[in-house]
Structure 1
Amino acid sequence: MLEGLPPNGATHVMRVEAPEHEARAIADIISESFDPAEVATAAFEEQDLAEGASWAMEAYFGEAPDEDSVRDLIRLVAPDHADKAEFLTLDKKDWVASSLEGLAPVAIGRFVIHGAHDRDRLPPSRIGIEIEAALAFGTGHHGTTKGCLSAIAAYGKQRRPARTLDVGTGTGVLAMAAARLFHAPVVASDIDRVAVVTAQANAKANRAAPHIHFLHAPGLGAGEFRRQGPYDLIVANILLPPLKAIARPLRRLLAPGGTVVLSGLLPSHANAALAAYRAQGLRLKRRRDIEGWTTLELTADSGRNETPAGRR
């Protein structure tokens, strides 16, 4: 989700078109220079760009940025593109609502993320999760969310976790997916109070609320995380800096033999994230690259504390 964005008012966007390596470099320097709770970045391939550009990079700010300062950062890694950066102001409510209009359902494993307009079209064998325009980011149509849903679906084919933790829950899509698939306790946390309220409402509407305990908390330091744990499955769909920051406390919350799913990562960030978690004794099990974003699935080196798939 775009953590920290104000519940009302506007979202501020900076966009620049550039070749892939420069678009990625701009995304990296901006994400590393701002508080990840206030800014989210994305670099992606796009059609019909200006001559000489194959990719676009966008940064989403919770408050209007200092345009000159942002251009100065761009000059450090892509000097020819600093003056080409465009700054836009989008009405947040209209932006999220319009992003959902006409979007096809997203089917991943047994999950189908959909809007109200597709509620009656779901096959009975699928787990439908309905998400509408909300005050938090996360509709299921983003590559990071798809990567996490794929990992949860794959995990469910092998075993059922006793407890799941969703860090940076946003609209609650991943927490609801785990709750609906596993019928087991899920703890879902977010740094943004508005996101927690939104996720709670979504969970209730999707009949997942009885299994989910929501927390408004920065990081993983709150005692409630320990009291509810340990967790066989931990999913963290945030950004590289906070993923690195929570590596040690996250490892302490993981049950023996547990699985960690990390996303919100550009492909160029994957090795840095992996290094931080390898230092905590985790090893890479699988990497998924979807729509310009990377999801890492890691596992503890020893033991296993999970219920086999199909058991309750």
Structure 2
Amino acid sequence: MLKPLLNTLYVEVQGSYLRLDHETLRLEVERKLVGQVPLQHIGSAVVFGNVLVSPFLLHRFGEDGRSLVWMTRNGRFKCRLSGPVTGNVLLRKAQYDAQADPALAFRIARNIVAGKVRNGRTVVQRAARETDDPADRAELEAASSALAASLRAAGRARSLDEVRGVEGRAGRVYFDVFGRMVRTNRDVFQFNGRNRRPPRDRINALLSFVYALVRGDCVSACEGVGLDPQFGYLHALRSGRPALALDLMEELRPVLADRLVLALINLAQLTDRDFDPRPGGSVNLTESGRKTVLVAYQTRKAREVHHPVVGRSVPLGLVPHLQARLLARHLRGDSEAYLPFTPR
């Protein structure tokens, strides 16, 4: 279970070639070996842009159930290698039946939103404690109070539409003060709200890139448990959209992604040199910027955190897999409710 957590291989060097040599994965650039690792140490791989993968390696990843994800050079998801469908068919039937039960689907969605709002509020409260600016502290404390009200509203919600409305309002409150949580280089890292496709400022470029990484981990978590990542409860079903993975991702964004983004900026690990403004107003991470983010993301995933449901410390990157298992238990009727991840 730890293999897909701690051994994701990220390849972003353009013109790279990944191939299989017996039980070893080899990375070559211009036909020169630049790295190799035993295949047994690799749980998944993510490649960016112009990276070639040999047919034999593709076949092996598919046969073994290893994840292989293709992204654009700038980190936008393109496609994913999918091997034979695994998992208990009865679990998937229970997953589909839950969608047909409005009350059950609503309760799952409500708990996901409650977890997202609570975790977002924790990020805001932490920023309010750490800032030295009285104006920032006032705005952040006001946002914390508004998010507390949203959390209460989620508990009172009686329909899926109400839950989605609570999520939307809480999201606006959260991102309205996101720029207040940036403590350094504000002239470079200006934030005027969430935007994407394409991102139009450095923070949005960073958020989109890290969210894509979290999304990939949540898809892997669903598939690893045997759930269908396309069939969710909070997000509407749409062809090609991994709705269940996006559901799981909601409560994890503040913990896995947003805090990482803020740390990279506030600790000056990223500067304006790590971003590439493009014609038309879009902004992308540079190759060096992506490398910095990928290393930091893997480091954050290895960090131990207390899981309140499991009752012990686990690597943060294992949390998507644990949450998928908790959801599976609920769908099978082994637990009364799906409990979101809300660390202390």
Name the TM-score class by shorter chain: under 0.3
> Normalization by structure 1: what TM-score?
0.27
Instruction: Report the structure, 1 or 2, having the larger helix content.
Output: 2
Look at both structures and tell me which one has the larger radius of gyration over its CA atoms. Answer: 2
> Normalization by structure 2: what TM-score?
0.25
Instruction: Report the structure, 1 or 2, having the larger strand content.
Output: 1
